[in-house]
Every structure is written in structure tokens, then in C-alpha cells.
A = this chain, B = another copy of it.
Amino acid sequence: MSVFTPVSAAQMAERLKNYSIGSLVELQGILAGIENTNYFLTTTHGRYVLTLFEKLKLHELPFYINLMAHLAKHGVACPAPIADVRDTYLAELNGRPSCIVTCLKGEAVMAPEALHCAQIGEVLAEMHMAGQTYDGRMSNPRGPAWWTATAPEVYPYMSADAVHVLRDEVRFQSRHRFDKLPTGAIHADLFRDNVLFDGDRIGGVIDFYFACNDLLLYDVAITVNDWCVTDDGDIDSDKARALLASYHAIRPFRDEEADNWGVMLRAAALRFWVSRLYDFHKPRPSELNKPKDPAHFERVLKKHVARDPSKLWL
């Protein structure tokens, strides 16, 4: 159950007077959410999603909400925030920052084929292109400084072998600098559960609350590490090539990006290994959802370390 902050139909009907999207037909809590309260909001004009933010504060939200609005303005399939009569996207509701966004069609595809991966490469490149003119700024809260500080906190819970791998990887990454790689607004969490497919076509990308400014190639690596991964942590090279080729057709990779692909795949695996280790071994008392298995990204990282990354490139 993830309606943490209930909203009554009467409250919603009243709130809709601030918007230009018709009057209330139905308000239905969404149980699947983890961090926020979400409702399917049906009005006389269509379907929307109402979100009440349970952790993020009002001042933290504009980067994410304005990024979605920017991408939607460029035709990227993502939730489009709806502005109210004051021309703002965010308003307080029952003590929480809240916003209304358009409801996308489709469902997550958890066993994607190469055809899905090709579309993911396309939408990721389109987001990166459209994001180049986005003027919001947010440094990556899960970047090298974060994992360097966090890794020692989880060593006590890990096997000596795993600590060795993790410590080596943190050190390996610290020796690399990527000053010449293109940066921009990145999604930073484009996992399979954050893309809806309407049949075989993308209905939209959701959940922009890890978005930040960082290396575009890092976003590609995060995405490949989820969409193109096999159960044993290996990468399916057909899927990876499909994703990279369709990305490349829209935003051609630079030589420096090709050169850094292997390091970047490892960085993306490291980031999620560390965050999963932390969430697993040091869960927040308020955390309701079951922590995800850290061992998955340990396997992914080890496979990356062992392979010749150029074999995973275009």
C-alpha cells in the first residue's frame, strides 16, 4: 500500500478548480508507488496522475518537474506536468508538495527484446538532445564523491572478496577523468520499470527523480546495464548493439566516448552496486519496500571487469 497521504474526492474536486483540465470523475490510489503517494486522476477531459511528494521538498522539485515539462515540449514521451491558474506546476496539498501530470499509456516490459532496446536507445538519445537546452542544474548526488564515501560504510557487511572488488573498482574509477565527454541532463535511472510500452511502441519514460546533470555516456551505460543484461550479469551483445546503434543514429557518439565505454559500464554498475549494498545493509527505518539484491550488480561489475569492452561497442 503506498497511498501515504490520502486525498479525498472533495479535496480533489476543489483543487481542480485551479486547473483547466475539467472536473473530477474519479480518483484512485496507485499501490505500486514506493517513495510518493500517487493517484490516477480521471477528469471530464482525460486521465492524469496526481503525485504527493513524501520525501522531496518543494524547493527540490523544480529541477525534475521543469525537466519533464521541457522534454514534453520537445515531444519526448514523458509525463507532461500541468500548470495551474497561477502558472505553476507545484502546489501544496495536505502538507505535501504535489503536482498533476499527464497519464501515459502502456506497461513496463521486463523481458525486453532487441526491438525494445532499439527504441530505448532512440528515446534516450532524444532526451539527451532535447535536454541540451534545459537550463536547470543539479549535480549527481550518486556520483564518484558519493560512492567513494559510501563504500567504506558497507565494507563491514561484505565478504573479504567482495570488499576487494569494490575497493579496487572505486580506486580504478578514481583514476579516470572524463572532462572531454559530453554532458547534459540525464535520466540516470532508465531501468525497465521506468519505461512504459504501449504494445511494441514506447508509451513514455517515467520517474525522473534521479535526473541530474552528468555525462551522457554514463546514462547510456546505466541503461545498457539494465536493458541488455542477462540473468547471470552478462550483457546480451545483440541487445546492447541495438540500443547503441539507434542511440548513435540520433546523437552520434564521439571517439572519446567509444574509448571510455568499458570504464563507463563499470562506473554505472558500481553506482548501483553501492546504493543497493547501502539500502540492503543500512535500510532507513521508514523504508517500506524490500531492498533489492546487491549481488546482481556485483555480478554485472565483475563481468565488465573481465571482458574486452570494445566487443560491446557498435
Contacts and interface: CB of A to CB of B under 8 A. Distances in A.
A115 interface: no
Nearest to A20: B126
Nearest to A134: B87
A245 interface: no
A83 B131 CA distance: 11
Interface residues of A, number: 30
Interface string A59-101: 0000000000101011111001011111100000000000000
B75 A82 contact: yes
Contact of A75 (B20, B77, B130, B133): B20
Each complex incorporates copies of this chain amounting to 2
A242 interface: no
Interface string A103-145: 0000000000000000000100011011011000000000000
Given A20-B76, A122-B22, A86 B133 contact: yes
A20 B21 CA distance: 26
Contacts of A129: 20, 85
A45 B130 CA distance: 15
A219 to B, nearest CB: 15
A48 B74 CA distance: 12
A130 to B, nearest CB: 5
A23 B71 CA distance: 17
A305 B87 CA distance: 40
